[in-house]
A and B are shown apart, each in its own frame.
Chain A
């Protein structure tokens, strides 16, 4: 079976808690999860800073996702707020660089939302698929 995004890899920063669990559930479930995701695990989505996202783009990611816990469900506290805070500047920066701001998405999950995660990844992959090749892909 050909994978959907073989040539358009998406890098996803997963918060260790709810989103990663959704991701695990999703990969384990029988629903045909066929997206090429490069998962990078962080303890909290608040750790992800613009440098990491930009680095991923620089290295050739066609899309970058930051998946965090929902606002009041963060194990640590500040994570969701922090990841929201960086989302806008990142979008603006990649826009200036000439990348479509749709290439970056920051989404929040509860631990049992594997279906929502699937939808989100599906739609993100579709969005990225439609865009032309990123100038940073070698």
Chain B
């Protein structure tokens, strides 16, 4: 089957023909606010008109943030982001596969985790105060925290602490989660850059280890991991008999009551995958609201602005502008800190704070929800 036929099938599958060209998607798109050339509507238009040869689609397929705001607004209910994910593999060419940030080092790290005989040292954050088990029903999926903290060591982010804090929270409610020493990357970023082969390798390796450990429930501290495991791991030919939850969901489900109140005022950044993709808006807000004052930014919940980047792709001038705007919104709430539920939001927003010109105006504390909760129960 040639590329164009595959494309036609995808267009069919995602009902792109139903687009009424109302332009609401473009109106909502945060990227379109800064990059006047970008329009989801036009992508839909050109992909129908020109198919695989469309230069516009080839370029925009890669610059799309995949934040999902357009999906929310589409009167027809087209899932534009899923459509983008589906067409990216078709638009990989020898000389253009999107601009990977950091020279593709992060995607490289993820691809490398697909090697079967790996013996990683990814759980060095586990100390005597953490209680974990190797077999059990509840698994804590740590994600790329160890890698990211090391890679971005210049930024002094405490990403490994998220994992540590999550385990501590679970311990506090009597759960001794399984933590896999050879857990692989969930593959979120790889499938979003069109590398389906590596994604499936990671997926099978992970499922195998889940099964081996006798897991029934998977808890993550990352919106992307949650989304990927929950929505993308299940395949028609192979079922995925696990329940996947973000830590906030889990805590809400078991009726976790937080500890002491914190004096800081926080604003909550909705991660795209956790929010719009999985509809988890209330759980983190309830948890946070019970221990501190929570203020909303002008764009929040389903309308929240993206942290500016996804899958370490096209971290460009427009990303930066979006990040600065988002930080300005956060500053505008006069909160003390931004709380997010995805480590990548932390990385992106922290990076944007280093602006040469606006340094003082953007600086703000940013923490993960797990760390905030852990602090409250100390």
- Comparing B29-37, B71-79, B100-108, the segment that makes contact with chain A is B100-108
Tell which of A50, A96, A136 touches B115, judged by Cβ atoms closer than 8 Å: A136
What is the 8 Å Cβ interface bit string for chain A, positions 48-67, against chain B (1 contact, 0 not)?
01111011011000000000
Check if A89 sits within 8 Å of B153, measured CB to CB.
yes
The answer to whether the Cβ of A97 comes within 8 Å of any Cβ in the partner chain is: yes
The answer to whether the Cβ of B109 comes within 8 Å of any Cβ in the partner chain is: yes
> Which residues of B lie under 8 Å from residue A50 when comparing CB positions?
102-103, 105, 151
Q: Given the known inter-chain contacts A49-B102, A96-B146, please indicate yes or no for A57 contacting B112, CB distance below 8 A.
A: yes
Q: Interface size bucket, B side?
A: 20 to 34
| A58 nearest in chain B by CB position | B112
Check if A92 sits within 8 Å of B102, measured CB to CB.
no
* A contact residues vs B (CB 8 Å cutoff): 49-52, 54-55, 57-58, 88-89, 92-93, 95-98, 135-136
> Which residues of A lie under 8 Å from residue B119 when comparing CB positions?
98, 135
Check if B150 sits within 8 Å of A92, measured CB to CB.
yes
| B113 nearest in chain A by CB position | A97
Tell which of B109, B115, B117 touches A93, judged by Cβ atoms closer than 8 Å: B109
What is the 8 Å Cβ interface bit string for chain B, positions 78-112, against chain A (1 contact, 0 not)?
00000000000000000000000011110011011
Tell which of A51, A135, A136 touches B102, judged by Cβ atoms closer than 8 Å: A51
A13 to chain B, nearest CB (A): 13
> Which residues of A lie under 8 Å from residue B117 when comparing CB positions?
135
Pairs A–B under 8 Å by Cβ, sample size 13: A49-B105, A51-B102, A51-B103, A51-B104, A51-B105, A51-B108, A54-B108, A55-B104, A93-B150, A96-B121, A97-B112, A98-B120, A98-B121
CA distance A135 to B132 in the complex (A): 27
Check if B122 sits within 8 Å of A52, measured CB to CB.
no
Check if A96 sits within 8 Å of B150, measured CB to CB.
yes
Check if A58 sits within 8 Å of B111, measured CB to CB.
yes
Task: Count A/B pairs, Cβ under 8 Å.
Answer: 58
The answer to whether the Cβ of B118 comes within 8 Å of any Cβ in the partner chain is: yes
A90 to chain B, nearest CB (A): 9
A40 to chain B, nearest CB (A): 14
Check if B105 sits within 8 Å of A97, measured CB to CB.
no
The answer to whether the Cβ of B147 comes within 8 Å of any Cβ in the partner chain is: yes
Contacts beyond the supplied A51-B104, A58-B112, A136-B115: 12 A-B pairs with Cβ under 8 Å: A49-B103, A49-B105, A50-B105, A51-B103, A88-B153, A89-B151, A96-B146, A97-B112, A97-B121, A135-B117, A135-B119, A136-B112
Q: Given the known inter-chain contacts A89-B151, A135-B115, A136-B115, please indicate yes or no for A95 contacting B121, CB distance below 8 A.
A: yes
> Which residues of A lie under 8 Å from residue B104 when comparing CB positions?
51, 55
Check if A97 sits within 8 Å of B151, measured CB to CB.
no
CA distance A88 to B119 in the complex (A): 20
CA distance A58 to B153 in the complex (A): 22
| A134 nearest in chain B by CB position | B115
A98 to chain B, nearest CB (A): 4
> Which residues of B lie under 8 Å from residue A57 when comparing CB positions?
112
B38 to chain A, nearest CB (A): 26
Tell which of A55, A92, A96, A135 touches B108, judged by Cβ atoms closer than 8 Å: A55
CA distance A95 to B111 in the complex (A): 16
CA distance A58 to B198 in the complex (A): 13
> Which residues of A lie under 8 Å from residue B108 when comparing CB positions?
51, 54-55, 58
What is the 8 Å Cβ interface bit string for chain B, positions 112-132, against chain A (1 contact, 0 not)?
110111111110100000000
> Which residues of B lie under 8 Å from residue A92 when comparing CB positions?
150, 153
> Which residues of B lie under 8 Å from residue A93 when comparing CB positions?
109, 147, 150-151
CA distance A97 to B151 in the complex (A): 12
- Greatest chain A CB density within 10 A among B111, B112, B124 is at B112
CA distance A58 to B150 in the complex (A): 18
CA distance A19 to B191 in the complex (A): 40
